[in-house]
Amino acid sequence: MLLYTILPIEEVMEGWDEFEPQYVELQQGSITMLVEPLGFGQGRIVRIISSDASNYLKPRLQPGCLISLIP
Amino acid sequence: MKPAVHRASTNYGDEATGAQKMEQAEPLVNPTLEAMRQLGQLAPPAPVESNIHCLSIVGQIEGHMILPPKNKTTKYEHIIPQLVAIEQSPMIEGVLIILNTIGGDIEAGLAIAEMIKTMSKPSVSFVLGGGHSIGIPIAVAARYSFISDTSTVTIHPIRLTGMVISVPQTYEYLEKMQDRVIRFIVSNSNITDEKLRELMFRTGELVRDVGTVLVGKEAVDVGLMDELGGLSQAMGKLNALIDENKEETDEGG
């Protein structure tokens, strides 16, 4: 992987050794999501995986949206 | 650095009801309060159905590696299917790409640029703030590119950190990657290969590096961007391109 950026690599990578995200994989219908649990039964969507491209345009499924982890 | 992934499957019965449930699900939070908290503003007015999709590419372009949380990133694995959906959608007739990026992964950046370039729907890019490094191919990939008066574009060589390049092969590899980017920019803008390389390797412009910073009009003068302008010009051009596109398809059909 090559980065082509004006930012020094030290700055981009700052804190990478402490960065260990814990993601949960969630299945909803035909969509698989990678969710970061936030507690209180909520999670924040990190990424969605779906073969139906229109899912990527749904406002409720954008990365950063909150989602209930309780079915 | 691989994120730990746990599997937790919630059972929603068959696929159709699962998808329906999600559509109908009530928002978890009060939208007004959430907008207040996240944006410091009241909730925006009710959206008007638009035929234009606005794609904003900000921060670092994240590719094969999850960058530490300090970085604000644009994830290419989300943008690419979005572009596919835009191409398919009967409602969306044009794309406005707003760029304020400091660069990022070469492969991811070029992938987004290629997707924008090969879309059948009209696209207009608008560099706002900065479109540096790998942001340049994305900006020129659109059918027409605008840059605002105060925005900057930084052209510099691709490099590794450190003082010394270990083996000649490393240098050759970097050269090859650089040629890919240069070729894409040259074939999608009015700048010449010689001029772009000259700007890329110019000394004395950047404090700690070789390269050039182009501010607003300078980027238009060298042929990198098509026009100096603002939001209304960009939208006007996009609407004109949409009309042109419609006429063409009408004639074709």
Question: Among residues B101, B104, B112, which one has the least CA distance to residue B138?
Answer: B112
Predicted pLDDT at B28: 66
Predicted pLDDT at B249: 84
Mean pLDDT on B2-31:
51
Is residue B156 annotated as a catalytic residue, yes or no? yes
Predicted pLDDT at B195: 95
Task: Inform me whether the C-beta atom of residue A39 falls under 8 Å from chain B C-beta atoms.
Answer: no
Q: Which residue is associated with the tokens 């992964």?
A: B105
For A42-59, b/e burial (b = at least 16 CB within 10 A) is: bbebbbbebeebebbbbe
**Who among B65, B88, B174 is closest to A53 (CB)?**
B88
Domain ranges (residues) in chain B: 51-252
Please identify which of the residues B123, B133, B151, B189 carries the catalytic annotation.
Answer: B133
- Say if the Cβ atoms of B68 and A13 lie within 8 Å: yes
Domain ranges (residues) in chain A: 21-68
| B10-24 confidence digits (pLDDT tens) | 444 444 444 454 455
> CA nearest B170 in A: which residue?
A2
Percent of chain B with pLDDT over 70: 84
- Say if the Cβ atoms of A5 and B25 lie within 8 Å: no
Reading the block at residue B190, the tokens are: 């009015």
Rounded CA separation B92/B52 (Å): 6
| B35-62 confidence digits (pLDDT tens) | 777 778 777 677 678 899 999 999 999 9
| B57-70 confidence digits (pLDDT tens) | 999 999 888 888 88
Is residue B50 annotated as a catalytic residue, yes or no? no
Q: Which residue has the higher pLDDT, B118 or A69?
A: B118
Residue B152: phi, psi to the nearest 5?
A: -125, 150
**What's the predicted TM-score (pTM) here?**
0.82
CA atoms within 13 A on the CB side of A33: 26
> Which residues, listed in sequence order, are joined to residue A68 by a DSSP beta bridge?
A42
Query: Confidence band (pLDDT; 50, 70, 90) for B208?
Result: confident
| B164-189 confidence digits (pLDDT tens) | 666 788 888 888 999 999 999 999 99
**Who among B5, B19, B78 is closest to A25 (CB)?**
B5
Reading the block at residue B175, the tokens are: 């050269």
Query: Confidence band (pLDDT; 50, 70, 90) for B159?
Result: confident
Per CATH, domain B51-252 is 3.90.226.10:
yes
| B89-139 confidence digits (pLDDT tens) | 999 999 999 999 999 999 999 999 999 999 999 999 999 999 999 999 999
Predicted pLDDT at B180: 93
